[in-house]
């Protein structure tokens, strides 16, 4: 199987899981609290089963693939400041961003992470003890930080139940992002021929301030995309 096919299979698998869960939710078979609990268990089990830090944050490839998929974040970190990864898993994205930004030498980042999975936050604290006071367990759709951040990263809006993703975006903009701060959505994967998330958030009245796109390093039909909003 080519890398493109395996990436598409992973996207399809995640969609299948989301769709079957959404069906149960919309048919009233599970409550919203149960939806979050099942999601949290899914992430915890799958990520903790991996033997490397990339897998423990949901990335299936090697370090080169990881860098290729995430380096566009460096382009949108344009000043020193505080950053929170909403849905930080084991903290690997924060750790990587801190390493890359420090190596470039222009800016300094103070890192924070939030995740719904207690098991993953425990792992993040163990892996990155110097930041252990900056890792929080909570549900991002309702949790509010004591202080706002210069940069707020969230990989997907589907951390909220379907139908409440606009509220989630508004919650992040209102409670997480400092004035003159930046909310960053992505990098996420999408079929190159569609622009689903851009269209969706724009239809809600939240046209992004900017966007970046690059093709998957092995498959041109799949794009890695990132959107951001300046407050
Ligand atoms: C795909 S991983 C992203 C990891 C990391 N941010 C990255 O980009 O590499 C998604 C993470 O979001 C967490 N998550 C999902 N829904 C959440 C919610 N409602 N509140 C907080 N965390 C959530 C999951 O537990 C999982 O660790």
pLDDT tens by residue, 104-129: 999 999 999 999 999 999 999 999 99
Q: 159 in ligand 1 pocket by Cβ < 6 Å?
A: yes
Q: For residue 186, with 0-12 CB atoms within 10 Å meaning exposed, 13-18 middle and 19 or more buried, which class applies?
A: buried
Query: How far is residue 207's CA from residue 87's CA, in Å, rounded to a whole number?
Result: 23
Q: Is the CB of 95 under 6 A from ligand 1?
A: no
To test the pocket of ligand 1, the residue of 13, 39, 116 to mutate (highest count of ligand atoms within 8 Å of its CB) is 116
Residue 33 scores a pLDDT above 60:
yes
Whether the Cβ atoms of residue 10 and residue 60 lie closer than 8 Å to each other: yes
pLDDT band at 11 (very low <50, low <70, confident <90, very high): low
Q: What are phi and psi of 148, to 5 degrees?
A: -85, 170
Domain ranges, ordered by start, for the chain: 3-230
Distance CA 226, CA 52 (A): 25
Instruction: Quote the percentage of the chain above a pLDDT of 70.
Output: 94
CB 85 within 8 A of CB 124: no
Q: Cβ neighbours of residue 46 under 8 Å, at least 6 residues apart? A: 58
Can you tell me the mean pLDDT for 56-78? 95
pLDDT at 5: 60
Which residue's CA is minimally distant from atom 11 of ligand 1? 87
Q: What is the pLDDT of residue 218?
A: 79
CB atoms within 10 A of CB 42: 15
Residue nearest to atom 16 of ligand 1 (CA): 159
In this prediction, residue 13 carries a pLDDT of: 66
Q: What pLDDT is stored for residue 195 in this prediction? A: 87
CB of 168 closer than 6 angstroms to any ligand 1 atom: no
Q: Which one, of 127, 83, 138, lies nearest residue 109 by Cα?
A: 83
Written out in words, the top-level CATH class of the domain with range 3-230 is alpha beta
**Ligand 1 pocket test target in 115, 141, 144 with most atoms within 8 Å of CB:** 115
Confidence of residue 140 (pLDDT cuts 50, 70, 90): very high
Q: Is the CB of 115 under 6 A from ligand 1?
A: yes
Distance in Å, CA 88 to ligand 1 centroid: 5
Distance, in Å, from the CA atom of 223 to the CA atom of 212, rounded to the nearest integer, reads 10
Nearest CA to ligand 1 atom 6: 88
CA–CA separation, 176 and 83 (whole Å): 10
pLDDT digits (tens, 9 = 90+) for 83-112: 999 999 999 999 999 999 999 999 999 999
User: CB burial class (10 A; 0-12, 13-18, 19+) of residue 192?
Assistant: middle
């Amino acid at each position: 199987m080519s890398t493109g096919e395996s990436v598409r299979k992973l996207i399809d698998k995640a969609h299948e899981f989301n769709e079957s869960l959404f069906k149960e939710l919309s048919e009233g078979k599970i409550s919203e609290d149960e939806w979050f609990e099942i999601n949290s268990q899914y992430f915890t089990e799958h990520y903790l089963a991996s033997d490397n830090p990339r897998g423990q944050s949901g990335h299936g490839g090697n370090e080169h693939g990881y860098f290729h998929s995430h380096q566009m974040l460096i382009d949108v970190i344009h000043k020193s400041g505080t950053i929170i990864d909403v849905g930080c898993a084991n903290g690997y994205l924060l750790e990587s961003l801190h390493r890359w930004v420090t190596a470039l030498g222009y800016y300094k980042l103070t890192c924070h992470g939030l995740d719904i999975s207690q098991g993953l936050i425990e792992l993040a604290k163990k892996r990155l003890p110097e930041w252990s006071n900056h890792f929080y367990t909570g549900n991002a759709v309702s949790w509010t930080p004591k202080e706002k951040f210069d940069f707020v990263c969230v990989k997907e809006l589907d951390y909220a139940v379907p139908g409440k993703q606009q509220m989630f975006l508004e919650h992040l903009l209102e409670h997480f992002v400092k004035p003159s701060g930046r909310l960053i959505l992505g990098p996420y994967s999408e079929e190159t021929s569609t622009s689903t998330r851009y269209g969706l958030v724009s239809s809600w009245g939240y046209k992004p301030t900017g966007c970046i796109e690059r093709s998957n390093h092995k498959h041109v039909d799949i794009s890695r995309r990132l959107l951001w909003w300046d407050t």
